[in-house]
Structure 1
């Protein structure tokens, strides 16, 4: 007999799923019955939060949903933080969980892993959460999930299978081809109106967000066609290459870029929330738009949040850019154009603002000199905060971290593992601090077990340094921030990783070039000298 759990595995494999993250438990073992006979690889994290973060990193790199098998009750409460980060950053994630038998739901009798209403608990961090009440529902519910991933603003979806459904017969079910779902086509008349306003603009500004990551060629062509200085959110880094004459970087929270936004007569914002963690990391509310604002987003509600537009266009970013380009005069990026001169003036001001960050710039220059094709997956830590402003890469999906949106700690290590699994050929560098690493440190064992050769660049300031400075700035006596710092090199080696402390930049580059391919390398960097000259 083919059970529902076995049929689920077959259906997922038929729809392109090649990796599942999960920790087997007594309530999910029947989901695992079909995995050994499939082509799906199973990765075992050491905590369900790690499973979610791995799925997130995998999804950001591959563009496919990260899939998790999660146990009832504590497994679901453990993964909620990871789902919330993915929800905030619009990342596709499919969380398949068990739940108690249908006849036991909501009774409160103290059954193993029982929650009053598991589905309702998860609903706030998912596009939808569904309890499967019959085997026959499964294909249509999965189809709904993939419609979210491929046709809407992608976000996590949760499907829970009661224990009696997982083991029920699915002999009558047939594996179906994946339905094709196209993204919303933006209104052509609105786009023509937008193009007309942009053609008439004297001081245009282009703001691109993570919703544009699949439209790299179009983004570069659009910036040139508009001759518009272009700012990128953290999740949009790489859409314009380093040294592009119109690139402002991800510096929307800094005064020179904010002044440019105030002076712009037309601002075009595509695939961006215009949210706080990309436009106001100084938390003063001073990112303002004085001219016309044209917004394009796949999420109709998001079009009206944060900054009200004069023209709101719902639709897929890539399709919208293609149509706008058809309405605009084509031209190459010109380093001597009016837009390039406006950009250069802002970049000169930013260079003065960043004079005190020379040691961070030198650090990233050293890393990229040794590994120019590296992907950076970060936590919330000082190297990430500085890199958000300083680092530019040629290509999208090469820089992402948890300092945006939900802003959790512990993301960097497991997300880097997922990123490496999605594209093993590219070097992956995890940027993380000593505080954040202690959130998910056991995932080093998962990486060793899976043979994942990531590089963990550990910024060690012996505590929660950023929060300590924040408290001191507000005359709050630092408390809870000077935490005990373990011997990370010994811990990493105990997990089976390679581990070294970088003495200087030359030594760091040597370690990066000689990093093992089959297990993690942890490189510790002390915040204080002698590492930094």
Structure 2
């Protein structure tokens, strides 16, 4: 078989890939010959950045790697932003691209889609980037990529194949079964020390990050065994289930939670990089830990970043949680729920004026769609939702305000989530500014008949930047935007749409949603005025 045919067969038969995202180009058409006749679903976005965001949303919702087929040159520069977001949030993504013929690489001859070094450019937004020079090495290189996804800190992997190798003959492997790979477990001696510290602690605190999303039962059992309050990252929402008495949510940047963290005598941080966009969204470096810090992470370098660990353990978060439970056979009593309740009362999120417009928004979404996956862009409702939302399970709340912090993520990532989890409703939370980056993906939603509800918060521009400019006495330039008529735009794509101006109108819209996508435009000013009138 050809190299292109082998690639598609390996993806489907060895690695169980069922969906790929890509825009065909003259440099990738041979891959589509391999796709024909396979049962892999091909989804065509309207921009390669959309392809990357769809793969990201697919991966976050499913736990499986998202896969993209991308053309040489501009296709790769287009997808680089999406790869940057996935790298920052440790999301498994396989980007397979073409590259120019082997005999032309690096020669600067002005070939179609030529870059001086496509591989070097993409290496900065991937766990590794590899140029396939021998078609016989394809099986090994793919195995390396999926080994990263399965047993190391995940992230994007880029494999580029010269166009003269796609139709090169290659011998298939003798066996199609993928090897079973296991993630490393922390050192037993370190676990014993960690368990002793946690047993002796009087004011323990647990910090759970996105590395824990595949172990909700173990996470819940451990924090209940420790009777310790928990701060999660944004990507770990839902780990403990909805409204768990020990769960303080992703509120590490707020003063009462920071005081709790500062006064904790032992802190257990699992699967979290302790980064700025999780614990310091007010950007003042005010999240401080004075107690003994136990850090567990699959990436050893993380143990030395952001906060100094007293004890560092390298290993898989899920396995570490299970093993720590074995070291702590009996429940401890530290008034954890009472301490957490005190912090929640001090936070008073539901009555905080900063969140007044958004409490009824998320209450309405929760009542109408209790099992929905909420996928967000960088927009005002998402910033509020990072603090307000509690989900029943992990992988049901994620957005682009973490890590890389790109715009345009919400809509295409929601489409990826809908493809991964067709049994669950999916809501995209976007703003009128950010959605313009990838608004064309409404066409993909209509074409694929994906029943995504796009809640578009229309506040006439970049509101967060306007506030920042005002606070720092900077003139408002470039933030008051001219928006299109989103109702007409949606109609042009063949997408159902309507405007709402109150929680009651939103609830009515959600009850009557169609089989395909629906855009619900929220007039932010009218919404605010309606709430003021009823308060």
TM interval, short-chain normalised: over 0.9
**Structure 1 residue aligned with 2:10:** 11
> Structure 1 residues 255 and 454, CA, compared in 2 at 3 Å: closer, same or farther?
same
TM-score for the superposition, normalised by structure 2: 0.97
Aligned equivalent of 2:364: 366
CA deviation string 1:258-297 (max 9, x = no partner): 0001100000000000000001011111110011000000
Distance 1:470 1:94 in 2: 37
**CA positional deviation for 1:170:** 2.1
Which residue is 2:31 aligned to? 31
Structure 2 distance, partners of 1:374, 1:282, is 28
Partner of 1:385: 383
Q: 1:349 aligns with which of 327, 346, 350?
A: 346
Give the conservation status (yes or no) of the 8 Å contact 1:222–1:321: yes
Higher mean C-alpha deviation, range 258-267 or range 171-180: 171-180
Q: What is the TM-score of this pair, normalised by structure 1? A: 0.97
- Paired residue secondary structure (1:301): helix
Q: Which aligned pairs between 1:373-452 and structure 2 lie closer than 5 A?
A: 373-452=371-450
| Distance apart, 1:358 and its partner CA | 2.8
1:448-495 residue CA offsets vs partner (Å, 9 max, x unmatched): 111111000000001001101100100000100001111011101110
Distance in 2 (alpha carbons) for counterparts of 1:374 and 1:366: 12
Regions of 4+ moved over 4 Å: 171-175
* Aligned-partner Cα distance in 2 for 1:73–1:52: 15
1:358 and 1:174 map into 2 onto residues whose CA distance is 62
Give the structure 1 partner of residue 110 of structure 2.
Answer: 110
Map 1:119-138 to 2 at 5 A: 119-138=119-138
Shift of 1:531: 4.5
Contact 1:11 1:175 (C-alpha < 8 Å) held by counterparts: no
Residue in structure 2 matching 1:461, options 459, 462, 484: 459
SS at structure 2 position matched to 1:72: coil
**1:234 and 2:234 aligned:** yes
Is the 1:375–1:427 Cα contact (8 Å) retained in structure 2? Answer: yes
CA contact (8 A) 1:457 1:525 kept: yes
**Would you say the 8 A contact 1:379–1:411 is kept in 2?**
yes
Find the aligned partners of 1:208 and 1:396 in 2 and give their Cα distance.
12
Structure 2 SS opposite 1:249: coil
SS of the aligned residue for 2:85 comes to helix
Deviations 1:344-395 (A, max 9, x none): 1111110068421233111111111111111100000000000000111110
Equivalent position of 1:73 in the other structure:
73
Q: Deviations over 1:416-456 (max 9, x none)?
A: 00000000110000000000110000000011111111000
Task: Name the SS for the 1:376 alignment partner.
Answer: strand
**Contact 1:87–1:156 under 8 Å retained in 2:** yes
Change over 3 Å in CA distance of 1:330–1:221 after alignment to 2: farther
Distance 1:119 1:342, change over 3 A: same
Counterparts of 1:248-259 in structure 2, within 5 Å, are 248-259=248-259
Q: Which residue of 1 aligns with 2:53?
A: 53
User: Residues 316-337 of structure 1: CA distance to partner in whole angstroms, max 9, x if unpaired?
Assistant: 01111111101113439x8xx6
Alpha carbons 2:265, 2:291 under 8 Å: kept: yes
The residue correspondences of 1:483-494 to structure 2 (distance < 5 A) are 483-494=481-492
Q: Deviations over 1:123-149 (max 9, x none)?
A: 000010000011100000000000000
Correspondence 1:36-185 to 2 at 5 A: 36-171=36-171, 174=174, 176-185=176-185
Q: Distance in 1 between matches of 2:169 and 2:349?
A: 68
Deviation for aligned residue 1:172: 5.5
Instruction: Report the Cα offset of residue 340 of structure 1.
Output: 1.3
Aligned twin of 1:208: 208
**Retained in 1: the 8 A contact 2:296–2:313?**
yes
- Mapped to 1, the partners of 2:421 and 2:402 lie a distance apart of 23
What is residue 189 of structure 2 aligned with on the other side? 189
Q: How far, CA to CA, are the matches of 1:302 and 1:327 in structure 2?
A: 24
Q: CA shift at 1:201, angstroms?
A: 0.2
Deviations 1:169-203 (A, max 9, x none): 12555563212211011111100110000000000
Separation (CA, whole Å) in 1 of partners of 2:175 and 2:434: 42
> What corresponds to 2:495 in structure 1?
497
| SS of aligned partner of 1:239 | coil
- CA–CA distance in 1 between the matches of 2:401 and 2:32? 34
Q: Which residue of 1 aligns with 2:521?
A: 524
The 1:230–1:173 alpha-carbon spacing in structure 2 relative to 1, beyond 3 Å, is closer
What does 1:252-291 align with in structure 2 at a 5 Å threshold? 252-291=252-291
SS of the equivalent of 2:454 reads strand
Q: Answer with 500-509 or 305-314: which moved more.
A: 500-509
What residue ranges of structure 1 are gaps of 5+ in the alignment? none
SS at match of 1:207: strand
How far, CA to CA, are the matches of 1:243 and 1:35 in structure 2?
45
Structure 1 CA distance, aligned partners of 2:285 and 2:248? Answer: 20
**Alpha-carbon distance between aligned partners in 2 of 1:532 and 1:495, rounded to the nearest angstrom:** 32
In structure 1, what is the Cα distance between the partners aligned to 2:512 and 2:330?
A: 45
In structure 2, C-alpha distance between the alignment counterparts of 1:4 and 1:174, rounded to whole Å: 15
Q: Is the 8 A contact 2:22 2:68 kept in 1?
A: yes
Equivalents in 2 of 1:384, 1:250: separation in Å?
12
> How far does residue 510 in structure 1 lie from its aligned partner after superposition?
1.7
Structure 1: how far apart are the matches of 2:413 and 2:322? Answer: 32
Question: What number of residue pairs does the alignment pair up?
Answer: 528
Residues 6 and 172 in structure 2, CA contact (< 8 A), matched pair in contact too: no
Secondary structure in 1 matching 2:98? strand
